[in-house]
Amino acid sequence: MIAVACRAALILALAVTGVCAETAKGLVTITFDDASRSQYDFGLRLAKAHGLAGTLFVPTELVTESLTPGGWTMTWDEVRDFQAAGWEIGAHGRTHMHLPGLDPTALADEIEGAAADILAQTGVAPVSFSSPFGDFTDATLDRIMGVYQAHLSWKGHGGRNPRAALDPRLVGRLEVIESMSSAEVCGEMVESARDGTWLVLLFHGITEGEPSDYEVSAAKAEAIFSCAALLQAGGIIEVRTVRDALSEVGGTP
Ligand SMILES: [Zn+2]
């Protein structure tokens, strides 16, 4: 039970003092889907600058061995740079296909093949899977959960997952889009501390140019990361990878 005074401080985001550290902590996870170049060029740099690490979901056959002209994905060396910075590497299929409707062989290739690729390239078996396009069925979920310990959807729970009765098959995320203010996303982090939920954020591309539908500006990402770092320093939230958050909420890993 959070003391009333402490709860009020959390609501107002005033207590960046550590006062509430012993009684309440929000749990926040930053995720990137797609392993795009912009996530490497801006996302990793900005997250590192604020001492944050999250989970990078990689479509393993779209990641290249070396930089290709005009290529939009990062290389395996760059994925390993995320790993070296403390990021968890999760799977996002092999070729970023809609999983429902694939025949069993193709489905196994996307789900089990992606796990094999990540193990081979990083030395660590992945435990988290994000369905491309957020597109899944009970059948694809069953197959995913035969290999992984958690499945992240595109949306769900407004991104604030119940810790007490977490369903690792359906970890919901809040997709951060350019029309959201950084204050709004920061407020969601404070709310996760107030109500004891696990907030999972999803970023696609991050750009210094004009953001498209699937991008946010680097300035917005930086403001959000800055807020997360400040709240973490104040003992209000903990920023964890999906793997580490699962162990905190009593999940399998
Ligand atoms: Zn994707």
Consecutive H or E run containing 8? helix 4-12
Give CATH for domain 21-248: 3.20.20.370
In this model, does residue 39 exceed pLDDT 80? yes
Residue 9 has pLDDT above 50, yes or no: no
Centre of ligand 1 to C-alpha 211, Å, is 17
Which residue is listed with tokens 């694939």? 102
Q: Taking 70 as the threshold, does the pLDDT of residue 3 lie above it? A: no
Residue 154 Cα to ligand 1 middle (Å): 9
pLDDT tens track for 139-165: 999 999 999 999 998 888 889 999 988
Q: Output the CA–CA distances (angstroms, integers) from residue 215 to 121, 144, 204, 221, in the order listed.
A: 27, 27, 6, 10
What is the per-residue pLDDT for 24? 60
pLDDT one-digit tens code per residue, 67-77? 888 888 999 99
What is the 248 CA–ligand 1 centroid distance (Å)?
Answer: 26
C-alpha 60/C-alpha 38 separation (Å) is 17
Q: What is the 234 CA–ligand 1 centroid distance (Å)? A: 33
pLDDT tens, position by position, 168-198: 999 999 999 999 999 999 999 999 999 999 9
Q: Are strands 197-203 and 160-162 parallel, antiparallel or unpaired?
A: antiparallel
The amino acid occupying position 132 is: P
Choose among 9, 46, 48: nearest CA to 234: 9
Joined tokens for residue 24: 């309440």
Q: What is the mean pLDDT of the chain?
A: 89
Q: With both helix axes pointing from N to C terminus, report the angle between 138-145 and 104-122 in degrees, rounded to the nearest 10.
A: 30
Determine the distance separating the centroid of ligand 1 and the alpha carbon of 69, expressed in angstroms. 21
Task: Look at residue 1 and tell me whether its pLDDT is greater than 80.
Answer: no
**Could you tell me the CA-to-CA distances from 30 to 8, 57, 113, 147, 163 in Å, in that order?**
25, 11, 25, 22, 17
**How far from 195 is each of 23, 54, 74, 164, CA to CA, in Å?**
12, 22, 37, 11
Spacing, Cα 249 to ligand 1 middle (Å): 26
Distance 14 CA to ligand 1 centre (A): 36
CA of 25 to the centre of ligand 1 (A): 30
Q: Which residues pair with 250 in a beta bridge?
A: none
Q: What is the DSSP letter of 138?
A: H
